[in-house]
Chain A
Amino acid sequence: MHKLLLIIKREFLTKVRSKAYLVLIFLSPLLMLGMFAAIFYFASKEEKAKDNQITLLTITTPEINQDIYKQHPAIYIEKGSAVSFKQAIQLVDDTSYNGLIYANPALKIMEIYGDKNIPFLSLKSILEKHKRNYLLHQNKIDEAVITQLSNMTPVKITHKKESENEIKKWVKGTVAVGAGYLVMMFVIIYGNSVMRSIIEEKNSRVIEIMICTVKPFQLLLGKIIGNALAGLLQFFIWGFLLLIGLFLIESSFPSTGGEAEKIAQIFTVIWDINYVQIGISFAFFFLSGYLLYSSFYASVGAAVNSETDTQQFVHPILLPLMFAVYIGIVTVVNGNPNGSTATLFSFIPFTSPIVMLMRIPYGVPTWQIILSLALLLVSFITTVYLASRIYRIGILSYGNKPKIKQLIKWMFQKQ
């Protein structure tokens, strides 16, 4: 036990002291935030820039031109001379105009032609207003009534508030997908880390001194646990940073104005989430998923001589992980979290760490969680045992890269 603790301590300290770990912990959230900020920045810039790029050919009355200019000052208006509608369309098609306003209320001509970038609805309402005013004047309606009609407050439209349920669903979906991705990412990162650590020991030949002092199984277990602790530490640091980030975002939003109410609602749901439960579930499912997969990574590490040899073995490990995230998004987030497919995959050990974790925010019966964890536990004990059989032979084998068949042989070979 004392030796196992020493190994765990060394693996943990080696991992958390490495520059890569610090970069991963503190720099990647910043990079991710930066990435999202950049996406939002460019998207909103694009939105504003849209009007600037529009050039309209207008063959219409000065009043209409004026009105278009008033409402869309960024649109470039080019007044055309009187030609037929057909010729005008031809002109737009042949040149770089985005669209054409061909309108004259007196002649009962009201045409808008153009590509998808021009603000059709707004232009339509301008033309309709002028047509209405023209008709009103024609029919000698009292000027006061016309003014009244023109200045009449537009119909107030209030969108139905997104129901709390929808917001809840959205927030839960985000949490579920985030947790699923996080487990996948952590399993890959820390599984690789175990694999690299084994390859390093094998290459530096320190392994020979190690295994005359400790049992290969102890060394393997110490390595796996040490890395898992580093992974958990990272998760809790990230979780803490995320909560602080959310808190800062919430306090930086104005409490009144356009979206304030919706954002407040989102935050109510966010703060309603039971983070202790999520944290504990994550810890359990990450650990058991990681333990299951890291034993595969460990076997690969023990079998090969260099990292470049790992590719062909690592791919089959990645596939079920990616499949689990996909299944999770399709069946849990966008489908029925308690449907039969989602439930089935939350029991299969290779997908359950991700799919079950994605289901948890939607509420899962406790017995299902326990059963899923129990199945995982049995599987990981089996895989760690088999991995240790490969490991104890692999670490002393140098030379050619073994084939899968040989790895299976090693499982049953006496040392």
Chain B
Amino acid sequence: MQEIILDIQNLHKSYGSKMALKGVSLQINKGTIYGLIGQNGAGKTTLIRILNQIIEADRGNVFFNGKPLTARDIKTLGYLPEERGLYKNMTIEEQALYFGQLKGMTKMEAKNQLNYWLDRFDITTWKNKKIQDLSKGMAQKVQFIITVLNQPNLLILDEPFSGFDPLNAQLIADEIKNLAQQGTTVIFSSHRMESVADMCDALSLIHNGEIILQGSISEIQKKYAKEIYEIHLVNTHKEQLATFLNNNAYSTLIVEDNKQELKLEVTKVTTERNLLQDILKLGELKLYKQYIPSLQEIFIKTIENA
């Protein structure tokens, strides 16, 4: 049984008449990377801001390491907001010392951690540069360093790859995975589904302030994978096919029908064995594959059905 680091129970939040969160509950295991997925305006940022105690929830509870989340826990959190920003006229070192000390580190600790990360990213020469002299990508890297400077137990990353080129995005992704391996729990918020599939162990899909899909990536994919089969046939027997298409035991969709090949998508209703037997009567089987939809497709479908 994995240890739960963050337990969110029934959070509600509204801005005036607009309900931003309608009873959100989720649990995050220690040392995992947890995805928070949703369209823009779904409620992700509101949830993150509540966790960071920037705003207060109207109702509901947040337990951190089994105890209600308080202002004292802030120093064990790291937060990389979607809208990045640092003080433009301060050097990287001044900035790191400032934010490090605000998070309760001593000057020395902040300095050591900064040196460690600058060294790790091979950018030690940047130390005395001002943010205004850095490119956007460089500034993003510095922002990441400042976020992890206090060695947080819980790292909250809102769209961490935005603004990075593919090479640096990979570099940051590797660092995030590395931190998770060392025991840091990561909340990874994004509207880009493909990056989540690659990074996360589990996720919640938020839509209109509600969680409409939740679980580990493998569980979710398994759940959706069970229902759909991709079948490619050649030399099909027309009558059998007509009978098959009319068979209420299956819901069948012709994806492509050219003279050489027929591509079907069958949603299984009976057992897999029956399906296979029936399919074999239709013609020469070229491909029989349980269709595993991408997370992106699952999300879009779930949101459409919500």
Binary A-proximity of B33-71 (CB < 8 A = 1, otherwise 0): 000000000000000010011111000000000000000
Is B85 interfacial (CB-CB < 8 Å)?
A: yes
Contacts of A157 in B (CB 8 A): none
| Complex interface residues of chain A between 191 and 239 (CB less than 8 A to chain B) | 200-201, 203-214
Binds A, one of B74-82, B228-236, B259-267: B74-82
Q: Which residues of B contact A203 (CB under 8 A)?
A: 85
Nearest CB of chain B from residue A211's CB, rounded to whole Å: 5
Prevailing SS type, chain B contact patch = loop
Q: Which residues of A sit under 8 angstroms from B79, Cβ to Cβ?
A: 208-209, 212
Bound form: Cα–Cα A104–B98 in Å: 91
Mark interface residues in A289-330 (1 if CB within 8 Å of B CB, else 0): 000000000000000000000000000000000000000000
Instruction: Give the docked Cα–Cα distance between A365 and B304 (Å).
Output: 76
B261 to chain A, nearest CB (A): 53
Taking a contact as CB atoms closer than 8 A, the residue among A14, A205, A206, A212 that contacts B53 in the complex is A212
Q: Which partner residue on chain A sits nearest B80 by CB separation?
A: A209
Q: How large is the interface on B (under 10, 10 to 19, 20 to 34, 35 or more residues)?
A: 20 to 34
Please state if B85 and A205 are interface contacts (CB–CB under 8 Å): yes
Known: A6-B98, A208-B54, A415-B55. A213 touches B103 (CB 8 A): yes
Task: Give complex CA distance A200, B81 in Å.
Answer: 17
Residue of B nearest to A215 (CB): B71
Q: Are B98 and A208 within 8 A (Cβ)?
A: no
CB distance from B116 to the nearest CB of A (A): 20
List chain B residues, Cβ under 8 A from A14.
Answer: 87, 89-90
B88 at the interface (CB under 8 A from A): yes
Residue pair A204, B87 in contact (C-beta under 8 Å)? yes
**Which of these, A206, A208, A213, contacts B74 with CB under 8 Å?**
A213
Contact of A205 with B52 in the complex, beta carbons under 8 Å: no
Do residues B102 and A204 form an inter-chain contact, with CB atoms below 8 A?
A: no
**Which chain B residues lie closer than 8 Å to A201 at the CB level?**
85, 87
- Specify which chain B residues have a CB less than 8 angstroms from the CB of A18 in the assembled complex: 89
- B84 an interface residue at 8 Å Cβ cutoff? yes
Bound form: Cα–Cα A63–B26 in Å? 114
Is there an interface contact between A209 and B98, defined as CB atoms closer than 8 Å?
Answer: no
A3 at the binding interface (Cβ < 8 Å) = yes
Number of A-B contacts (CB under 8 A): 59
Measured between beta carbons, the chain A residues less than 8 angstroms from B52 are: 212
- Whether A214 lies near B102 (C-beta < 8 A) is yes
* In the complex with contacts A3-B102, A14-B90, A396-B54 CB distance below 8 A: yes
Q: Which residues of B contact A124 (CB under 8 A)?
A: none
A10 sits at the interface (CB 8 A): yes
Q: Is B99 an interface residue (CB 8 A)?
A: yes
Q: 0/1 per residue, A136-164, Cβ < 8 Å to B?
A: 00000000000000000000000000000
**B contact residues around A3 at 8 Å (CB):** 102
Assembled-state Cα–Cα distance A99/B282 (Å): 127
CB contacts under 8 Å to A, within B4-19, are: none
- With beta carbons under 8 angstroms apart, the residue of A2, A209, A415 that contacts B56 is A415
- When C-beta atoms are compared, the residue in chain A nearest to B53 turns out to be A212
Do B88 and A6 touch (CB < 8 A)? no
Query: A6 CA to B102 CA in the complex, in Å?
Result: 7
Contact A209 B81, beta carbon cutoff 8 Å: yes
B221 contacts partner chain A, Cβ-Cβ < 8 Å? no
Complex Cα gap A410–B57 (Å): 17
The contact string, 1 if C-beta is below 8 Å from chain A, for chain B 285-302, is 000000000000000000
CB-contacts of A1-41 with B (<8 A): 2-3, 6, 10, 14, 18
Residues of B within 8 A of A10 (CB): 87, 90, 98
Chain B contacts for A2, CB-based, 8 A: 101
Note all chain A residues with C-beta closer than 8 A to B77: 212
- How far is the CB of A340 from the nearest CB of chain B, in Å? 48
B59 CB to nearest chain A CB (Å): 12
Q: Is the CB of A205 within 8 A of B81?
A: yes
The answer to the question of B83 belonging to the interface, with a C-beta cut-off of 8 Å to chain A, is yes
Q: Write the A384-415 contact mask toward B (1 if CB under 8 angstroms, else 0).
A: 00000000000010000000000000000011
Chain B residues with CB below 8 A from A214, complex form: 102
**Is B275 in contact with chain A by the CB < 8 A criterion?**
no
Residues of A within 8 A of B85 (CB): 201, 203-209
Min C-beta distance of A354 to chain B, whole Å: 32
A213 surroundings in chain B (CB, below 8 A): 74, 99, 102-103
- B99 contacts across to A, CB distance below 8 A: 209, 213
Q: Is B138 an interface residue (CB 8 A)?
A: no
30 contacts between A and B (CB under 8 A): A3-B102, A6-B98, A10-B87, A10-B90, A10-B98, A14-B89, A14-B90, A200-B88, A201-B85, A203-B85, A204-B88, A205-B83, A205-B84, A205-B85, A206-B85, A208-B54, A208-B85, A209-B79, A209-B99, A209-B146, A210-B102, A212-B52, A213-B74, A213-B99, A213-B102, A214-B102, A396-B54, A396-B55, A415-B55, A415-B56
**8 extra interface residue pairs, beta carbon distance < 8 Å, beyond A208-B85, A213-B102, A396-B54:** A206-B85, A209-B99, A209-B146, A212-B49, A212-B54, A212-B77, A213-B74, A396-B49
User: Which 5 A-B residue pairs are closest in the complex by CB-CB distance?
Assistant: A205-B85, A212-B52, A204-B85, A205-B83, A206-B85
